[in-house]
């Protein structure tokens, strides 16, 4: 995953402000927001202000007919926005599921894949053709917890100081190295990443590891 500077420079936040991000990109934004809340929030506000200023500077007086159509569409969009905001406040998942994100179970040692299949389909487990690295699918997001489906061939090391990270391996194997100590996990295993400790996740060459990932603010 990109560091903060690379993430900001990538242009994904501009797409996020414009509402043009995919589920995977939205998941990346939420993950970075949980890691760097002040920096990402500030950047989003700066982008929003800049886009608004640009729109005003390039504004053209529309005809009466265009105005009428515009305000009709605006009312339609506002109605949709209100419905979407209501869904977000209720914790509705971004994935097409009839169950809200507030019902997603917290990962524990007793968790199993079947506990989460209401929030993803078999197609979501397919790695995009030619993809290598990390593929994320947002399953649900609330103020208390973000849940994602992660499919990976390689994962960069990192350390968490302000969020708990839990994983349930649903396919494949991986080695989690915490401060030099290697822990091997396979299908059905639960992983609880400790705070303040650098960790690497190593996936055997030529294989794919799939897991349910939860990030919970401290």
Distance (Å, whole) CA 168 – CA 108:
8
Distance CA 136, CA 204 (A): 19
Query: What is the distance, to the nearest Å, from the Cα of residue 78 to the centroid of all Cα atoms in its chain?
Result: 25
Residue 87 has pLDDT above 60, yes or no: no
Q: Which residue has the tokens 């007086």?
A: 61
> What number of CA atoms fall less than 13 Å from residue 145's CA on the CB side?
20
Q: Which has the higher per-residue pLDDT, 69 or 211?
A: 211
CA quadruple 159, 164, 165, 168: dihedral sign: positive
3-state secondary structure of 11: coil
Percent of the chain with pLDDT over 90: 23
Domain spanning 101-217, CATH architecture: Sandwich (2.60)
pLDDT band at 83 (very low <50, low <70, confident <90, very high): very low
Per residue in 10-53, pLDDT (tens digit) is 988 888 877 777 877 877 887 787 778 788 888 888 887 787 67
Question: What is the rounded CA–CA span in Å between residue 159 and residue 97?
Answer: 32
Tens digit of pLDDT for each residue in 146-164?
A: 899 999 888 888 888 888 8
3-state secondary structure of 173: strand
pLDDT tier at 209, thresholds 50, 70, 90: very high
How many CB atoms neighbour CB 8 within 10 A? Answer: 19
The confidence score (pLDDT) of residue 111 equals: 94
For the whole model, what pTM was predicted? 0.61
Residue 61: pLDDT over 60: no
């Amino acid at each position: 995953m990109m560091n903060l500077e690379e993430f900001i420079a990538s242009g994904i936040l501009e797409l996020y402000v414009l509402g043009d991000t995919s589920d995977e990109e939205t998941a990346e934004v939420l993950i970075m927001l949980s890691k760097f809340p002040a920096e990402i929030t500030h950047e989003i506000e700066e982008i929003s202000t800049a886009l608004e200023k640009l729109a005003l500077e390039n504004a053209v007086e529309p005809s009466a007919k265009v105005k009428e159509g515009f305000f009709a569409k605006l009312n339609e969009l506002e109605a949709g926005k209100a419905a979407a905001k209501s869904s977000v406040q209720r914790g509705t998942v971004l994935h097409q599921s009839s169950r809200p994100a507030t019902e997603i179970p917290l990962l524990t040692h007793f968790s199993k894949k079947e506990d989460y299949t209401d929030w993803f389909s078999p197609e979501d487990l397919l790695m995009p053709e030619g993809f290598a690295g990390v593929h994320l699918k947002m399953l649900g997001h609330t103020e208390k917890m973000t849940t994602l489906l992660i499919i990976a061939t390689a994962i960069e090391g990192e350390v968490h100081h302000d969020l708990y990270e839990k994983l349930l391996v649903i396919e494949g194997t991986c080695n989690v190295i915490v401060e030099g100590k290697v822990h091997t996990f396979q299908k059905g295993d639960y992983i609880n990443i400790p705070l303040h400790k650098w960790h690497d996740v190593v996936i055997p060459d030529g294989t794919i590891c799939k897991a349910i990932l939860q990030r919970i603010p401290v």
